[in-house]
A and B are shown apart, each in its own frame.
Chain A
């Protein structure tokens, strides 16, 4: 379980996170939703320690991340898998080298075992046989999927996905959502997914946090978000005419 307590973060004058608190439970898919520029990516970077928080704390199973020494932080990080908004694949390495990289660095697997693991991960993101391609030879959506494969190659305890299905077609998008959900349940991971996609919200959102003006504005389950009358959520969810019509019909 990850617990975020009263986190504040600003960049100069720009106060991004205001006293943000939330809990991310184990074995479920936690979604963070919110408009562009509201601090979703900044929040995840603060949680994993890529950005230092100005005040507040982040607890991994009750242990304060900012108070850990270098070695302890490193040990936690080996249990984190992260998908960056821009994929962040190593562009000097092929698809399979990217996936095998953490295995090479931190496990004692043989070459064959690593190969098998890479093939397995690629299969799960529907990219079997693309092992030897370089990131520059992939489409944006393929890069995302390779990045997911890399994030799960170490069977992480904590999985962070920054917009895993932006730039993907609806069917691949659902495939990725289902994959994230499946491995979360299978491995009992603490999963945090940032998304804009209402399909994902309805499909996999066990616990949903709506971030607005840098605050934890609303939280609940997917059943609750459909029924809520919180005006900001209604603006966010039912932004399009299509959705507005749909809501009218449902009501």
Chain B
């Protein structure tokens, strides 16, 4: 199928996802469950990755700064700006695309091939909105929290990496973290995160929902979900960075 056709199908799907829900109460409970499955259950991996990511960024920066003209606080400054602007929102979203995306695609794909989606439709439930909307809401609301935690943890990771290996002092690093701080950077990062959350959930749901065949095809959909969410995340990241930073 041509890409244009797929995009059309995707847009049609999004329209159905946002059609009027049948029972708000049921959707509400489902959203809470989804916050747990796709949000809270991802906290561990996000935390570990963030700490090490921050540590590596600060060590790299420190080791590349051999010129005595550059003040030591630059390490803290660069660690902060690169994690907040790019590493936390983008890299962590890519990781979440892997974890959450494959999970969503295989869950919905399995429901498709075992006729559970047909069963929903027969009851008169709008299956797309029922299955996808709670996930979209959960991700768009919860991923920003994960990313804020990720930013904090990355900076802490960077701090310990640099101070324990005595590449800079406590004062120097902290001064760098605070230097030239703009709240708008965080807003920008969180806006990006919401967009990525939307991309991860809808693209993965798309591949899951339109799975045809059996268990093998569910596996394929799940791989495609991860690949395409990542590609779309990187593309939108490029566009958003152009739009917002220029």
Contacts and interface: CB of A to CB of B under 8 A. Distances in A.
B138 to A, nearest CB: 15
A50 interface: yes
A82 B121 CA distance: 11
A84 B115 contact: yes
A82 B120 CA distance: 10
A106 B114 CA distance: 23
A86 B119 CA distance: 11
Given A105-B23, A106-B22, A90 B124 contact: no
Contact of B115 (A77, A78, A86, A154): A86
B191 to A, nearest CB: 32
B185 interface: no
Interface residues on B, range: 10 to 19
Given A86-B115, A88-B114, A105 B122 contact: no
B244 to A, nearest CB: 39
Among B26, B110, B114, B124, the most chain A Cβ lie within 10 Å of the Cβ of B124
Interface in B33-66: none
A146 interface: no
A102 interface: yes
A165 to B, nearest CB: 18
A43 interface: no
Interface of A: 45, 48, 50, 74-75, 77-78, 80, 82, 84-86, 88-91, 101-102, 104-106, 154
For the complex of A and B, the 9 pairs showing the least CB-CB separation, nearest first, are A77-B124, A88-B115, A88-B119, A78-B124, A74-B124, A84-B115, A82-B122, A102-B123, A88-B116
